[in-house]
Every structure is written in structure tokens, then in C-alpha cells.
Amino acid sequence: MAKLAQYFAKVEGVDDYIPVEILSVSTSPNRNIFKVAVDGKEFEVDYMVSGNNLHSLIVNNIVYSLVIDYKDSVYDVERIDDFFRIEILDEMKKFLKERVAKGLQGRQVIETQMPGLILKVLVEKGQEVKTGDPLLILVAMKMENEIRAPKDGVVQELFVQEGKTVSSGDKLVIID
């Protein structure tokens, strides 16, 4: 079965990201049924929001009531007397986070990891940037992805323009 979306989940205290694939979605006014694969194992999940932060999940005929709060990509999940903090990233955010974590030195060539459309260019050649500064917005898989500076430096080259499409592996920006 083809995947609709790919995410990576990391539970606080665990070193590795676990792949989570959305395989299918069926929605109605009161229900959302997902077919998902977590680390390669498939599940059918019946999901419903019961209140502001109250979520109900039925996974393989077992009911879970959860309180979920989230900010950015981090979800705090409470269930009875259990608490989990889970970071969930899409492919682009995971790639960028891993790249920054490597402690980048020297000239950095930023390439796209997936095809998409350049929605907005936020910097210009010669501009000084700090780590984490937004460089451009790439629309890929119907999501807006903010591409950020992986290190402090100066924009040496800018290979893209607003409204243009890019392919996987295309150069976007060079920062030195």
C-alpha cells in the first residue's frame, strides 16, 4: 500500500526516531479512521477529538483516552498515570535537525530533499544570517516547509526564485 505521508517520532529518553507512515485516511463528520504503519507494523486507528485537548483513539479494538498538548513538533501525551513527550517531524524537518546537530563547519550547500515549489525567498545574496534564520519557504507534499540557516554566515549563492519548482537534490542556497 502506498504511503500518503511519512513522519518520524522520537519518544523523550529514546535515542532513535521511529518511522510512522500514514497509509490511508477515511473521514466522516464524527470519525477519522487511519491505516498507519509504525516501525513497519500496521495498525487501524479510529481517532476522535472529544474536547480541546482530549483525544480518543481506538487501536486494534482497544480504547485510549489521552490528553494531548503540543507546541511546534513536540507533543505532551497523558494517559491515566502515564506521561510521554514525543517529537514528531516530517522528512524535511528531520533532515534539517540532523544536519544542524552535526555541528556544521565551513561552507554549507543547502539542497532540497524533496520536489516542491519555492513559495517565498526570504534572503538575498550577501545577506548575513544566523543559525535558524528562515531562508525560504518550500511547498512540498501540500505543506509549507521553512528552510532555515544551518549555521551563522553569509548567503554566498541563491539558486532559486519565488514561483519556481525544484527537484530532489537541487541546490537552494550556499552559506559560508
Q: Distance between CA atoms of 100 and 97, rounded to whole angstroms?
A: 5
pLDDT higher than threshold 90 for residue 141: no
Which string of DSSP letters, residue by residue, matches 133-171?
A: -EEEEEEETTEEEEEE-SSSEEEEEE---TT-EE-TT-E
Q: Where are the domains of the chain?
A: 5-90, 103-175
- Residues 65-122 pLDDT 10s: 999 998 888 999 999 889 999 999 988 888 777 766 666 667 889 988 788 899 999 9
| pTM, rounded to two decimals | 0.57
| Average predicted confidence (pLDDT) for the chain | 88
Q: Which of 34, 31, 53, 51 is nearest to 43 (CA)?
A: 34
pLDDT at 87: 93
Q: Is there a contact between 138 and 113 (Cβ–Cβ < 8 Å)?
A: no
Name the DSSP class of 95: H
Cell of 33: 479512521
Residue 1 has pLDDT above 80, yes or no: no
Q: What local confidence, expressed as pLDDT, does residue 104 receive?
A: 60
* Rounded Cα–Cα distance for residues 62 and 14 (Å): 25
Q: What is the 8-class DSSP label of residue 88?
A: E
Q: What is the pLDDT of residue 23?
A: 93
**CATH assignment of 103-175?**
2.40.50.100
Task: Give me the mean pLDDT over the 54-68 stretch.
Answer: 91
Residue recorded with cell 507546541: 71
CATH number corresponding to 5-90: 3.30.700.30
pLDDT surpassing 70 at residue 58: yes
